[in-house]
Structures are given as C-alpha cells and as structure tokens.
Structure 1
C-alpha cells in the first residue's frame, strides 16, 4: 500500500454529535453491554508501565512531560528501565507491575510504554477482579492487542488502541503536524471528546453505512489468540485490522484463519489500516495485493469495507476506542468513522 495517499483528520465539530462525557461512574454504551471507564479530568493519574518490550526512563520522558502538560499526574512503573533480554523485566516483574496498576484506585488510566512482545506471557495470571469493579482506560497497540481482545472477550470493558510512550516526539515544537494530531487524539480519547476520522476514497472500498461496537488491532495477534481465553468476539462488531513486517502469503494465511473461525462472517463493517508488507522473496512472488487478499475473504458478505484507514504501525496512527459504539460511513467521497 502507498501510505502517501493516507489522508486523515478529526471530523469538524459541526458534523459530529455533541460529546457525552462521564467523569464519575462507569456507564454502559447505548445498545450494548460494554462498559466505558470514567473519563479523565485534570489532576488524575496515569500509570506508565511496560508489560511487553524493554524501554528506558529516558525514552519515556517526552511522553511523561507531554501528559503532564495536559494536566495529568504520572506514576512510573517499576518495569520502566528494567530489562530481561527483549522484555521490560522478567515475566514476574512485568506481571507484578501491571497488577499494581490495575489495583491502584488512584490510577485512572494505564499507558503501556511500548509494544514488542510479552503480554501474552502474563495475561492469564492477571487478576481483573478489582479492575472489573473500577475500570480504567488502558492504552496501547501492537502487542497490547492481546489485552484489547481479552477485555472484549471476558469483561466487555472499553480500552484505547493508540500510540504509546515510544511514539511521542522528543521535541514537541519540532514535531510534524501528523505526530501532534495523533498524540493529541490520545488526550481527546481520555477526556471523552467525540472522536471522528476520515480516510480518502479507495477504489476497493465497499460502500455502506453501519453502527456497531468497534474492536480489533494487530492482525497477527488476533489470529494467534484464536481458541484461547482471549479469543476476539467479532459478531455484530465493526472490526479494524493492521499489521507490519509480514509477507503477503502470511497476511493471506491469517485472514483465512479469521474467515474459517467465522470472525469475518457476521461483522457490521471492516476497516483495514496500514499494512507494511515485506517484499516477496525472488521466485516466491505471491501474486496478490493486500486489497485482493482481503476482498477474496469477504466477497460473499455485504457489510461496508474501508481501506487505507489511519491506524497501524505508521505515523498516522490515531487513537481508537475499542468497545465503544461507532458509526462507519463508506461512500463515494471516502470514509468516516466517528463515535456515537
């Protein structure tokens, strides 16, 4: 895919329904059993932890300063700066640190410092009993897709799929507009602003309009969770997928898995974000594009499909609220996705 053709922005306020915020009690989304954690207000605390890959305190410092400028307090977890080969500390250290964040009533949101690999190694040992009683926003993407899927499957609690600490610019004054816009989308999601994005028309899009709970994340993570206690429930949902560093044949195989496990069958809509594809090996050309691979798997279904959406391992990776009702509109002028 040519990501130079991505075009994304917040929907103008006049075109979006007024924001509905809850600052005190957990609420249920309209027409769903999903719970939305309380939105943040100035003075609330965000915990920063690394349940997957290794990251230093110096590397998370720009994100800490930026979130503090938004009026939030920051609590740095014990895993920041710890290292066990590729991980942010060993399994026990990462488990204990994340559990503390889940259980601490003074922490209103948890920002995962980076992705990489490792969350699946601790997910089944986490105790979510306190979190269920007092939900809080959990933020991250890539490997953190494990947690987004787990929350959908087991608790119906909303979370935020977005950039993490390692994506904040070192110097805000020199940051590109797209960096600023995507980082600010995290703040807007946390404080309960109405979320809305557009993407340009793509000839492979399937036109339509639908409403539904938004779920999804990294395609390879979603596939590997099949049959587990974190298996993603996609029925009557709007699904979004993205991935990076995969061969075309691997993307084809993963999408066959989603099709064969009926994850593509009863969708309300499908959103395809960024896919950074590995070049085929010489003599092993796959012969299909990402567009063709996707459309082959969904040709018998009738829901709207949007390609080139601004989510994924790329600069234009905007914050999306998993487990929240959205409206998806795909028409002759492009794509609109907004929270209901």
Structure 2
C-alpha cells in the first residue's frame, strides 16, 4: 500500500498512528522530553551513599564521608555498604532495595554510588522511578554507573553527574595529589551549581570545530551493552563522550564498529574521546592499531569536532561532567574546551 493511501486509511478508520510515523523521518518521542536538572545542593543537604554495583567496606568510604561533610553536607549510609555477594555489594534484591530507598527518600538530595564494578544492569529493571521523576536528585558515579546515566537520559530526560566515586577520595586531602584533589573538588562544584569548563590537551589528530548539544556518554562497553534496550542512548545532535579500561584493542575496535553500525556516530554534534587504558595484546595476537587509529577510521569522514585525550575516565584526571545538560565544545590549535551551558 502506498504511503499516502496508508496514512489516509489510518485516519479515515479512526486508528491511531504509531509515534514512529512521520513525513520523512523517525520520531523518537522519548528524546523530545525536556531536560530536567535536579536542584543544586545547599549547606545541610543530605547525600546518600549506596553500592549498587561492586562491594565496598565502611573503612574504604570514610575519607569520602569526611570530605563531603567538610563541604557542609550530611551523609546517609546505605545498607549495601559492608554487604557482599561475591563481587557485588549484596544480592540483586538487596542492592535494588537500597538504591530504591534512596531514590524515594525525600531527605536525600543526591546519591553517590560508592564504586563501580558490575551489577547495575542486573537491577535497573527492578527500580521504580515514579517518585524520583517528580522530585529528581543528582545521581553521581561513572564506569558501571553509566547504566544509570543512559537510563535516566533516555527514559526521563533527567541530568546526572559522571564523576569519581567514594573509592577515589584522598585519605588525607592536605597531602593529596593536586590532580586527585581537583577532580574530587569538581564534584562539589557541580553539586553547588558552579559554572564548569574543562580544557583538553593539544593532540595532533584532534579534529577542529565548534559544536553545542546535550552531553551524553560514559563507559564505552556499557554504552554498547545498552544497544537495543530501553536504556539505549539516542545520540543525534548530541556531544558524545566515551572512555574505557582493561579492554584489548580489538575489542575496542569492535565496540566502535558497534557505535558506527548502530548509527550513534552518524549525526553527532561532537565527539570526546577520554582515557582508554588498553590491555596489552597477547604475544602473537597483536592488533596493529592504536586507539587513535581505531577512532579515526570510524569518524574521519564526518564533519563534527573530535577531541582526544580528554580528562575523563579510569584515570587520575577524571573530572565531573553533567550528563544530559547542554554543553559547547571547541576544538582548535590550543586543544579542546568543554563548557556547560546550563
């Protein structure tokens, strides 16, 4: 049946058109949701700490508690701290219940995930976000927490914070490495609503240009694993950032092919390549390409700016970013610059 006749038939018959039918392009209604930013924190507000992925002990999070209290915040400890179910911070049911309690608790204004690891994908569909959507709060973390960042962006259009977690806070801030301290303080600045701007290094293969768009992204392997699910990112018109650790080069190549073949690279506003800690090739199994080669092969024919070696990822210089918020990206002779516009 021809398209005009089909549309006429649907309307005449009183049938509802599917949301994906439009004149010439697919309509993704979830991506049209207005972006919501949770309220910024003020002195006396409470931050909850939970472990929805890997396990962690109370002594390991004490430095984070002390520093956040020094910022003027109260801290509420979840039941998953000191819990352990093999590699995870309690059973799926325990981790889901702890995170759910914090999502629903009106006293908690931000939730910091204690560490990454693995486990969020096992509980994401057990969570109820009804109360959270009405009164959103900042979700903080990276690595496996990318599951939450993707889900919040795709399903609800709610901003979140991609940053270090409790296991990265310095034991003694007075003698901490300057970069470690700067990245931790970037979390405080975001939570308090300060304007954020970050500089990336001069890299010979940076692709110059300017762009603006909603910032989305996180851990590359997690983003790939979300493909085809209701947490899958829509990247059209957005600035995408990616990072990863402990992966073979051939596997990173496969992940970037996934981004390309699923269309996630086609209509970006800009691309940011963060830190990639590569697992050495096995002897005799050398892949023969660097991470730069891998990315350039997939994006060289696109016109948008690309910034390499940006200070995000599983590394010391991992600064806090606001996912789901409009940013500007400038890439030029002096390196790259990312600025939050909201």
So what's the TM-score if we normalise by structure 2? Answer: 0.90
Gap regions ≥5 residues in structure 1 = 1-30
In the alignment, structure 1 residue 288 sits paired with structure 2 residue 289: yes
In structure 1, what is the equivalent of residue 10 of structure 2?
Answer: none
In the alignment, structure 1 residue 62 sits paired with structure 2 residue 63: yes
Counterpart contact for 2:79–2:98, Cα < 8 Å: yes
In structure 2, what is the equivalent of residue 257 of structure 1?
Answer: 258
Deviation by residue 1:204-241 (Cα, 9 ceiling, x = unmatched): 10000111100000000000110011111111110000
Q: Secondary structure at the match of 1:82?
A: coil
Task: State the Cα distance separating 1:69 from its structure 2 match.
Answer: 0.2
Deviation by residue 1:14-37 (Cα, 9 ceiling, x = unmatched): xxxxxxxxxxxxxxxxx9821110
Q: Secondary structure at the match of 2:174?
A: helix
Distance 2:201 2:92 in 1: 42
Task: State the Cα distance separating 1:262 from its structure 2 match.
Answer: 0.3
Distance 1:299 1:199 in 2: 20
Q: Secondary structure at the match of 1:262?
A: coil
In structure 2, what is the equivalent of residue 93 of structure 1?
Answer: 94
In structure 1, what is the equivalent of residue 330 of structure 2?
Answer: 329
In structure 1, what is the equivalent of residue 267 of structure 2?
Answer: 266
Counterpart contact for 2:33–2:157, Cα < 8 Å: no
Task: State the Cα distance separating 1:171 from its structure 2 match.
Answer: 1.1
Distance 1:116 1:252 in 2: 22
Distance 2:324 2:139 in 1: 12
Counterpart contact for 2:173–2:181, Cα < 8 Å: yes
Structure showing greater radius of gyration is 2
Distance 2:248 2:219 in 1: 15
Deviation by residue 1:120-147 (Cα, 9 ceiling, x = unmatched): 0000110000000000000000000000
Aligned ranges 1:173-322 → 2 under 5 Å: 173-322=174-323
Distance 1:243 1:307 in 2: 13
Q: Secondary structure at the match of 1:36?
A: coil
In structure 2, what is the equivalent of residue 120 of structure 1?
Answer: 121
Distance 2:153 2:303 in 1: 24
With over 3 angstroms needed to count, the CA separation of the structure-2 counterparts of 1:35 and 1:45, relative to structure 1, is same
In structure 2, what is the equivalent of residue 339 of structure 1?
Answer: 340
Deviation by residue 1:95-143 (Cα, 9 ceiling, x = unmatched): 0000000000110000000000000000011000000000000000000
Counterpart contact for 2:53–2:119, Cα < 8 Å: yes
In the alignment, structure 1 residue 169 sits paired with structure 2 residue 170: yes
Distance 1:112 1:278 in 2: 26
Distance 2:326 2:154 in 1: 16
Task: State the Cα distance separating 1:174 from its structure 2 match.
Answer: 1.4
In structure 2, what is the equivalent of residue 11 of structure 1?
Answer: none
In structure 2, what is the equivalent of residue 149 of structure 1?
Answer: 150
Q: How many residues end up aligned between the 2 structures? A: 310
Runs of 4+ in 1 over 2 A off after TM superposition: none
Distance 2:234 2:127 in 1: 20
Distance 2:238 2:76 in 1: 34
Distance 2:72 2:237 in 1: 37
Q: Secondary structure at the match of 2:223?
A: helix
